[in-house]
Amino acid sequence: MFRIGQSTDIHRLEKGRKLILGGVEIEHELGLLGHSDADCLLHAISEAILGALALGDLGSHFPDNDPRYKDADSLMLLHEVVQMMKARQYAIGNIDALILIERPKMAPHIEKMRGNIAGVCECSIDQVSVKATRGEKLGFIGHEEGAAAQAIVLLEKKGRLNEWKSELE
């Protein structure tokens, strides 16, 4: 059985905050504002997994008024979501994610992001796609007021792939 989830996460860019995307700290004069580390890429992926499992949104599991999640590492939040996924006998089929940010350029950081995500999700880096695009000076992305990320995940019930292989033989 397959399940699909999708999500979008948006955070404001502010001076005095770290820019962390995909678990990678990126040198920049602006960072993402949020209760946790505000890693919108990992938040979108986490929430897409929750959506595929029909478990609600990220805020229902990690509320922004809970001091335990103040400045939380979003890799840890993703890890918790992956544990929920595994408890329901699902695994990542693939992740397709998009970062929307005017600058800095994401290309030098994407492989590290993919590796971080694959490591926490216990899947191959080949199952994780991360892309980036700019706002071309349009809207809140283009005016560098904020950044966003979108993610779609495909989950597959564990053991299903082996069943198909047996049927093909």
**39 annotated among ligand-binding-site residues:** no
**65 annotated among ligand-binding-site residues:** yes
**50 annotated among ligand-binding-site residues:** no
**102 annotated among ligand-binding-site residues:** yes
Among residues 29, 5, 21, 19, the alpha carbon closest in space to that of 156 is found at 5
**108 annotated among ligand-binding-site residues:** no
The Cβ of residue 128 has, within 10 Å, a number of other Cβ atoms equal to: 24
**168 annotated among ligand-binding-site residues:** no
**57 annotated among ligand-binding-site residues:** yes
Give dist(CA 19, CA 169) in Å, integer: 49
Cα–Cα distances (Å) from 142 to 25, 94, 100, 110, in that order, read 21, 29, 9, 20
CB-based contacts of 17, cutoff 8 Å, min separation 6: 30, 31, 32, 33, 38
**2 annotated among ligand-binding-site residues:** no
**66 annotated among ligand-binding-site residues:** yes
**17 annotated among ligand-binding-site residues:** no
**104 annotated among ligand-binding-site residues:** yes
**37 annotated among ligand-binding-site residues:** no
**106 annotated among ligand-binding-site residues:** yes
**134 annotated among ligand-binding-site residues:** no
**109 annotated among ligand-binding-site residues:** no
Query: Annotated binding site, which residues?
Result: 9-11, 35-36, 43, 57-59, 62-66, 101-107, 140, 143
Query: Annotated binding site for a divalent metal cation, which residues?
Result: 9, 11, 43
